[in-house]
Every structure is written in structure tokens, then in C-alpha cells.
Amino acid sequence: MNLPNTITIIRFGLIPIFIIMFFSTSSNAIVYSILIFILAGVTDMLDGYIARKYNLVTKWGQAMDPLADKLMQLTVLICFTIKRFLPIWVIVIVGIKELLMVSGGLFLYTQKGKIVIAANQYGKMATVLFYVAIISVAFRLPYYIYLVWISVSFTAYAFLQYAKIGLKEVKMKEIQKTP
């Protein structure tokens, strides 16, 4: 187990800590839970940076890193929806997108010759916008709902970009198979 993978495991551990803190009766529960959320985001960037810089990329890390990220994001959305910080449509749209991403990724890998779509600038930007939107909602910053709309819209756009790349990869794979 290398350092980036250990950091990913820590991110999985931050999920229940976020939930416990978010629903605690502490007067600073939202501040502490958002700090945990931010810590998860920082460790997400850190483990990827370390893995690439020191050539510590593993198959386990490639699979578990995005899973830890998505589980944290969905956990935050569920918690925010339960407490009515966010309307239900946000989690419906993001949940459908994540379900399609996971099922599409599994399909491309298992049925189309182990095609893997790497993270790109659209996905990374969607993640950054998600963090900004969640922090703005948590602290009820002015116009936070617009940031939520922008984040969800960009998430949908990023999904379309991933789908486009996936279709292109499938076509390239089929062309390579043709004798």
C-alpha cells in the first residue's frame, strides 16, 4: 500500500466523519463538516499529485480514487437534501449522471475492450464548481442557488463530454479491429 492509496483510504474514512459531524448538535456542526469536506477535496488533489509525480499510480488507486470522490460528493448531496439545504432536483440530476458514468465506464471496460476514459478538464472543473457551490450553500452566501445551477449544469456538460469521448474511443477500437 503506497502513500497515495493510503490517502485515498483516509478519504473513505472522512465520509462517516462528515455525516456524524453534519448531523451533530454542535453549534459549529456545519463549519466542521465543511472543513472535513474541504479536507477530502485537498486529499483528492494530493493523492493524485503524489501518484503522478512519483510514479505511484496503481490500478487500485485508479479505481478507488474516483469512487472515494463520488461517494463523498453524493454523501454531501444526500445530507444537504435531508436538511433541506438543497432541493431534491440537484441530487436527482447528479445521481443520474453518476449512475450513467459508472455504468458507462463498466460497459466500456468490460464489453468494449477495456476502454478507460481518463479524467479531463471538464470533470475537474465540474468538481471545483461543485465544491464552490456546496461551500456557498453551507454558508448561505449571496446568490448561492445560482452557483448550484452553474455547478449542476456544468456537471451535465462534463458528462456529455465524457460520453462523446467514450463514443469516439469505441469507434477507434472498432476501426482497429477491422482487418
Asked if residue 161 and residue 99 are part of one domain, the reply reads: yes
Asked if residue 92 and residue 80 are part of one domain, the reply reads: no
For 26, list phi and psi in degrees, rounded to 5. -60, 140
Convert the pLDDT of each residue in 109-150 to its tens digit.
Answer: 888 887 878 778 998 899 999 999 999 999 999 999 999 999
Q: Which of 62, 85, 108 is the last residue in one of the domains? A: 85
Asked if residue 133 and residue 102 are part of one domain, the reply reads: yes
Q: What is the pTM of this model?
A: 0.87
- Give 2's contacts (C-beta < 8 A, 6+ positions apart): 51, 56, 58, 61
Cα 171 to Cα 157: distance, rounded to the nearest angstrom: 21
- Report the number of distinct structural domains present in the chain: 2
Asked if residue 99 and residue 52 are part of one domain, the reply reads: no
> Average model confidence (pLDDT) for the chain?
91
Asked if residue 145 and residue 103 are part of one domain, the reply reads: yes
CATH at residue 72: 1.20.120.1760
State the pLDDT at residue 61: 85
Question: Distance of CA 107 to CAs 116, 118, 178, Å?
Answer: 10, 15, 21
Cα 96 to Cα 40: distance, rounded to the nearest angstrom: 23
Inform me whether the pLDDT recorded for 26 exceeds 80: yes
Asked if residue 159 and residue 94 are part of one domain, the reply reads: yes
8 Å CB contact between 137 and 152: no
Give me the domain span that covers residue 10: 1-85
Asked if residue 171 and residue 94 are part of one domain, the reply reads: yes
Asked if residue 169 and residue 125 are part of one domain, the reply reads: yes
Asked if residue 124 and residue 51 are part of one domain, the reply reads: no
Which residue has 473513505 as its cell numbers?
A: 12
Which residue did the predictor score with more confidence, 117 or 6?
6
- Encode the chain in three state secondary structure: CCHHHHHHHHHHHHHHHHHHHHCCCCCCHHHHHHHHHHHHHHHHHHHHHHHHHCCCCCHHHHHHHHHHHHHHHHHHHHHHHHCCCCCHHHHHHHHHHHHHHHHHHHHHHHHCCCCCCCCCHHHHHHHHHHHHHHHHHHCCCCCHHHHHHHHHHHHHHHHHHHHHHHHHHHHHHHHHHCC
